[in-house]
Amino acid sequence: MGIYSKPLVFAVLSAVVILVGTVVTVFIPMLMPSMHPVSDYVKPYTAVELEGRDIYIREGCNSCHTQTVRPLRTEVLRYGEYSKPEEFAYDRPFLWGSRRTGPDLNRLGGKYPDSWHYKHMESPQSMFEKSNMPPYGWMAEKRLDTRYSVKKIAVLGYGYTEDEVAAQIADYKARVTDPSYSSKAARDAVTPEALRGELTEMDAIIAYMQKLGRDVKNLEAAK
């Protein structure tokens, strides 16, 4: 008979076995460096891209869009190179998503010029008649709030100094407000006059859209 006639001992011993198994197969690997790949080619978000990412989360864009291309032929043909673990090193939380009402966005950066995004965010239906993506034109009417950028970056451990954060914000502002900015006409068309010299939430979300998958594309281009 042995252990089978002692239900309590059996239950305790099986709990111990399952616990040991869980620690060995789940928790120990979680602490191993190979589970946290760091690659030089993956760059952390700049302050403006990070603000854009926060707006993306706030608006729940991830409930309609995934950010992970699976290693399946159909997906690679449609979106490009499949997603690698190290690409998400700076993503907290992950925005892989599980539902694709809209297309995957993990390889979006550089696919369209900024002007396309200004028009699409203002009115997705103007680009794709049957799109069921809601319009987000009002984002261009909201000044970007960067009061917490330094704090957020410190919490995430991206390692920029306060001055670097200020410089990133100033640089991006200079870029989009420059009279020779290549998407100036599209930006002006959606941005109220009073905000054309400022950074808006729309500018930040577009900065973030252009960053998605950019590191991988840069790496491939450099090969």
By C-alpha distance, which of 124, 99, 118, 91 is closest to 182?
A: 118
Nearer to ligand HEC, 65 or 150 (CB): 65
Q: Does 124 bind ligand HEC (CB under 6 A)?
A: yes
d(CA 52, CA 146) in angstroms, rounded, equals 11
Contact (CB, 8 A) for 66 and 97: yes
d(CA 119, CA 128) in angstroms, rounded, equals 11
Nearer to ligand HEC, 120 or 160 (CB): 120
Contact (CB, 8 A) for 86 and 109: no
CA angle 215, 46, 141 (to 5 degrees): 115
> Which residue is listed with tokens 């946290």?
36
Candidates 48, 150, 209, 216; binder of ligand HEC (CB under 6 A) is: 209
Q: Does 183 bind ligand HEC (CB under 6 A)?
A: no
Nearer to ligand HEC, 82 or 154 (CB): 82
# residues near ligand HEC by CB under 6 A: 22
Q: Does 45 bind ligand HEC (CB under 6 A)?
A: no
By C-alpha distance, which of 139, 137, 117, 140 is closest to 127?
A: 117
Q: How far is the CB of 216 from ligand HEC (least distance, A)?
A: 15
Q: How far is the CB of 183 from ligand HEC (least distance, A)?
A: 14
Enter the tokens of residue 108.
């979006």
Residue 116's CB: how many other CB atoms inside 10 A? Answer: 15
By C-alpha distance, which of 152, 144, 155, 160 is closest to 195?
A: 144
Nearer to ligand HEC, 56 or 160 (CB): 56
Q: Does 136 bind ligand HEC (CB under 6 A)?
A: yes
Q: Write the interaction track for ligand HEC spanning residues 187-206; mark x where CB under 6 A is met and - where it is not.
A: ------------------x-
Q: How far is the CB of 208 from ligand HEC (least distance, A)?
A: 8
Q: Does 128 bind ligand HEC (CB under 6 A)?
A: yes
Residue nearest to ligand HEC (CB): 102
Window 60 to 119, contacts with ligand HEC (CB under 6 A): 61, 63-65, 101-103, 105, 108, 111
With b for 16 or more beta-carbon neighbours within 10 A and e for fewer, the 89-105 pattern comes to ebeeeebebeeeebebb
Site residues (vs ligand HEC, CB under 6 A): 56, 59, 61, 63-65, 101-103, 105, 108, 111, 124, 127-128, 131-134, 136, 205, 209
